[in-house]
Amino acid sequence: MSEKVVKTDNDWKEELSPEEFRVMRKHGTEPAFTGKYWDLKDQGIYKCAACGNELFSSETKYDSGSGWPSFYQPLSQDKVGTQIDRTLLAARTEVHCDKCNAHLGHVFPDGPMPTGQRYCINSVSLKFEKKD
């Protein structure tokens, strides 16, 4: 397991764009169908935009129709963490980077097999590294 990244809000504000800060540090959400990766079909690895932690593979990405990049599983379970999000009327499961605690999106139990999970992730929380 890699070492945790801990920074102050001021440190993150210096490193992240205002939109990245709003989503990743303040638990925001980008509008559906607006992020740069929601329909990307290239092969590669999706990393945390804040710390570079490798999170998801394009091999597990699928078109959920939601307007956000969706994956049926992370690269490994120790790459992401979850917690209950009660900011809306119904409780949801928030997904965050386990290395820097950046908010990534949410996971829902309506994805495809083999996991049945849909990791619905904000594009702004990700950096894509194309496979050669």
What distance in Å separates the CA atoms of residue 118 and residue 65, rounded to the nearest whole number? 11
Cα of 102 vs its chain's centroid, Å: 8
What distance in Å separates the CA atoms of residue 13 and residue 99, rounded to the nearest whole number? 18
Q: Which of 48, 51, 100, 120 is catalytic?
A: 120
The upper half-sphere exposure of residue 10, i.e. CA atoms within 13 Å in the direction of its Cβ, equals 0
What distance in Å separates the CA atoms of residue 131 and residue 115, rounded to the nearest whole number? 24
* 51 belongs to the catalytic site: no
Comparing CA positions, the residue from 24, 28, 30 lying closest to residue 12 is: 24
Residues involved in catalysis = 120
